Amino acid sequence: MSDSLDPVGGRPAGEVYDWYVRGLRLLDDGHAAAAAELLAHAVAADPDSASIREAVGRARLGARRYDEARADFAWLVEAYPDDDFAHFGLGLALSRLGQHAAAGEQLALACALRPDREDYARELHHVRATLRARSS
């Protein structure tokens, strides 16, 4: 499995699954921007894959490409409304874009779906505190 580009069309070497696995490895190793680029090829090839959409959304969050991450997680929420992580990712992206009220709604849904997740509750608390501070 090489990380090189195919000489035809600038596509990464390998197949969609290879791109997904390499993208996750890049993300785990702290290379979010590179992961986002590689995973974007996987999304283009398999746009209906929830696992690829989640991975590219995570990578785009890590690369501070919040509007693109918002679109990825919004797609997931639409397709899988009971996916707690999709609501969480959408809430994070919206928060980073300054859309705190909408972020709070998504984070509250994530918390309702998975009340055991402290990271969800922490982000919801942060967004609600921001909203309170701005309304004062």
pLDDT at position 9 is 60
Q: Which residues of the chain fall short of a pLDDT of 50?
A: 1-3, 5, 7
Q: Is 12 helix (H, G, I), strand (E, B) or coil?
A: strand
Closest alpha carbon to 94 in 68, 63, 62, 56: 68
Per the prediction, the chain carries an average pLDDT of 93
pLDDT at position 11 is 80
d(CA 14, CA 20) in angstroms, rounded, equals 10
pLDDT at position 136 is 84
d(CA 100, CA 22) in angstroms, rounded, equals 33
Q: Is 46 helix (H, G, I), strand (E, B) or coil?
A: coil
- Domain architecture of the chain: domains with CATH: 1-64 (no CATH), 67-136 (1.25.40.10)
User: Within a 10 A sphere around the Cβ of 55, how many other Cβ atoms?
Assistant: 24
φ, ψ for residue 34 (rounded to 5)? -65, -40
Burial (CB < 10 A; 0-12, 13-18, 19+), residue 67, is: exposed
pLDDT at position 13 is 83
d(CA 120, CA 99) in angstroms, rounded, equals 17
